[in-house]
Each structure stands twice: as C-alpha cells, then as structure tokens.
Homo-oligomer: A and B are copies of this chain.
Amino acid sequence: MVRPHGRQSMGRQRIQIRRIETKDRRQVTFSKRRAGLFKKASELSMLTGASVAVVVFSEAGHAFGFGDPSVDAVLRCYAPVSGDAAPVPPVSGAGFGEGDDELEALRRAAEETKAQVAAEQSRMCEIAEKIVVAKAGRQFWWEADVEALGEAELPEFARALEKLRANVHRHANALLSAQPPPPPPPQQQQQ
C-alpha cells in the first residue's frame, strides 16, 4: 500500500536525550529500547564471551532482567555489596519539561543557561571547597584527583558535570540551529 501523497513515513527523527514528556511515547520508547538494550547485551556476551547482567525497572515499578548465563549468576559475583552510604534520591527528572519551541529556546538559551549556572553554583558551594582541595597543586579543574573525593562528594560532582554537559549540549544545538530546516511543530504536546 503506497500513500499517494509524498513520503510514506517521516523516518526516524532526531530526539534529545532527555525525559520524554508524552506518556505514550515514553512507554513506547521504553519497550523498544529495553528490547534493544537486551539484544545488545546478548550480542556482547555472544561475541566476546563476557558475562552480562542487565536489570531495568520501569517507572511503573515493573522489573525486567537479562543475563548470560543468568542475571543471578552474574550478580552473585557482584554481591559483596551490603552497606549503603548515601541516600541517593532517584534522580527524578529535572524540571525541564516545558514544551519549548526550538527557536524560542534558542533565543532564551543565553539567559536560561546563566540562570541555571548561577543556581547550580550556589548549590555547589557546599562541596566547592572539597573539590578545590582535591585539585590543589594542579593547573586545571579536570585534573582534580577524582579519587580524593569521598563517596559522598562523587555523586554530587557527577551530577554537576551532567548538568553542565546538558547546558553545553543544548547550547551547541542552538548554535547549530543557525540553519533553518526544522519543520515548525504545529502544536504543543500534551500528556
């Protein structure tokens, strides 16, 4: 069956790697990518003989697992874990859910980034000193001795990096949007 009007499909579209707001799409993507992840895990183990275990919890709380030779067999080797040091809150999505038009986002990117960096800065001040100490005697921040940071600081450091990375990524996309190929979204998404 061929559609007489133009292309039969829009084909795969580029998406941002951040939380999908539309519930339906999020569910569909979860199913597809979970299957893809398991397949990749399977191939890795078949090709290289490695032992692999993958455990996934959907938002709804349903558990899925893949393992070669089995999830449990692999996890038993990882078992020496017992203690729990930091109450890591399950990285609930950042509050980025606004359905922003790309053009508008481009325009506001500057101020947005500054505001976020500023907000981030105050939150980071808590562990700022420790990181400064960690990089004492070194020239650049990325020379900071990661191992000098305790278990408590590492997650914070990691989160900070991720946020900054997100800012940079968004900005890079904005800059690349100098060319105007984007089909204007006729309406905003709902959920």
Contact = CB atoms under 8 A, between A and B. Distances in A.
Interface residues of A, number: 105
Nearest to A30: B48
Given A48-B58, A143-B121, A172-B154, A92 B79 contact: yes
A75 interface: yes
A151 B72 CA distance: 13
A160 B90 CA distance: 25
Interface string A11-50: 0000101111000001101100110110011011011111
A138 to B, nearest CB: 9
B81 A63 contact: yes
Contact of A77 (B15, B18, B102, B172): B102
A146 B1 CA distance: 39
A133 interface: no
Given A43-B33, A72-B82, A168 B157 contact: yes
Query: What number of copies of this chain does the assembly contain?
Result: 2
A179 B85 contact: yes
Nearest to A94: B76
A128 interface: yes
Interface in A131-159: 131-132, 139-143, 146-147, 149, 151, 154-155, 157-158
A72 to B, nearest CB: 5
Contacts of A149: 168
A124 B142 CA distance: 8
Nearest to A93: B77
Given A59-B48, A69-B96, A90-B51, A146 B113 contact: yes
Give 8 closest A-B pairs by Cβ, nearest first: A141-B141, A30-B48, A77-B93, A51-B57, A161-B165, A154-B172, A158-B168, A73-B96
